[in-house]
Amino acid sequence: MTKQFSKLTDPQWDAISPFFDLKRKRKHDLRQMINIILWLLRTGCQWRNLPEEWPNWQAVYYYFDRWKQDGTFERINLALNQLDRKRVGKEAYPSVLSIDTQSVKLNPMICEYRGTDANKRVNGRKRQLVVDTQGRLWLATVHPANQADGPTAVSLIGDLLWRVGERLEKVYGDQSYNGVFAQALAEWSIERSGVPV
């Protein structure tokens, strides 16, 4: 993990540039937009406090929101995960995944997706993450902290299959995933191959 923000290198840009329409003439450079979004992620700055030498924050947010809504970021993540797995000598898709949640406190002014996790005494949200054995993020979702991990993870099974394909053999999780989620995953496995996961 990098400790400081650094702009995309030429090879990094070459890896993700096919996901953007670069043929059309634009007012703003898309590589600069990606660099600004990465800077925002690294620093935690507010949109409205972008440095003055950069484009207006509404322009940056326009591209961010557009790429988030049309799935561009998800497609980039999937492609980069596959490239990185191949780089270290693994198959493009993982056969083993891990799933878990993390409760996060929220500012009192934020009301969407809010709940209280009674076990951890956290008033906020839960981030539900699915990673492979080397920690690459394959899927992430957010829900209120008062919702149970297992039942909320059932809705992720379709997304998991879209991202990792037929190669999936096991999904590791803690006890909260033993009930409904494990049963739904086993049913999918039996439908697919006749053998439970």
**pLDDT values of the chain reduced to their tens digit, one per residue, 197 residues:** 567 888 999 999 999 999 998 888 889 999 999 999 999 999 988 999 999 999 999 999 999 999 999 999 999 999 999 999 999 999 999 999 998 888 887 776 666 666 766 676 777 888 889 999 999 999 888 888 777 778 888 888 888 877 787 788 888 888 888 888 888 877 776 666 555 55
What's the pLDDT score for residue 1?
A: 55
What number of CA atoms fall less than 13 Å from residue 79's CA on the CB side? 13
Give the Cα separation of 5 and 41 in Å (integer).
9
Closest by CA to 172, choosing from 95, 101, 98, is 98
pLDDT at 173: 87
What pLDDT, on a 0 to 100 scale, did the predictor assign at position 12? 93
Q: Please identify, in words, the CATH class of the domain defined by 93-193.
A: alpha beta
Helix/strand/coil for 175: helix
According to the model, what pLDDT value does residue 155 have? 83
Domain regions of the chain by residue span: 10-70, 93-193
> How far apart are the C-alpha atoms of 46 and 40, rounded to whole Å?
8
Distances (CA, A) of 173 to 116, 176, 194: 22, 8, 22
